[in-house]
Structure 1
Amino acid sequence: MISTLGVCYYPEHWDEAMWASDAERMVETGITWVRIGEFAWSRLEKVEGTFTFEWLDRAIAVLADAGLKVVMCTPTTT
């Protein structure tokens, strides 16, 4: 049986400089999946009608570059 381990991660709550080391620690502990995004609406749409995805693209890239698989959840307005 193949077992996998996943974790919730909220990059919008952490300084971007920490993302790579966070991802590294996840991999070191055997985590393979990371769920993100479900509480990120306030960061995605700071101004009504204006969406900012660049930070999310960077977060996904950091996690993927570390070898993690990313599950993007659907955020709701918060």
Structure 2
Amino acid sequence: MTEREIVEFRLNDVLRMRKPHACGGYEWTVYRLGADIGIVCDCCRRRLLLPRTDLEKRLKTFISRGQENLE
């Protein structure tokens, strides 16, 4: 197996996906973190829960980053 770099997601990250949503929007905002990542379409406000590995594959780039968690 090849080792892949793990992508660090933060709350309120704005992501650009490789393919458009059915509504035509490419940009999504992260609203939930965990094993599944919750994202909401910035165009139609549809919410999705995706496994982290699937989201990493679909991600094209970060439009903006949310605040880093300072614990």
Same-fold status (TM-score > 0.5):
no
Higher relative contact order (CA 8 A, sep 6+): 1
Structure with more helix by fraction? 1
Q: Which has the larger radius of gyration?
A: 1
Structure (1 or 2) with the greater strand fraction: 2
TM range (shorter): under 0.3
What TM-score does the superposition give when structure 1 sets the normalisation length?
0.25
TM-score w.r.t. length of structure 2: 0.26
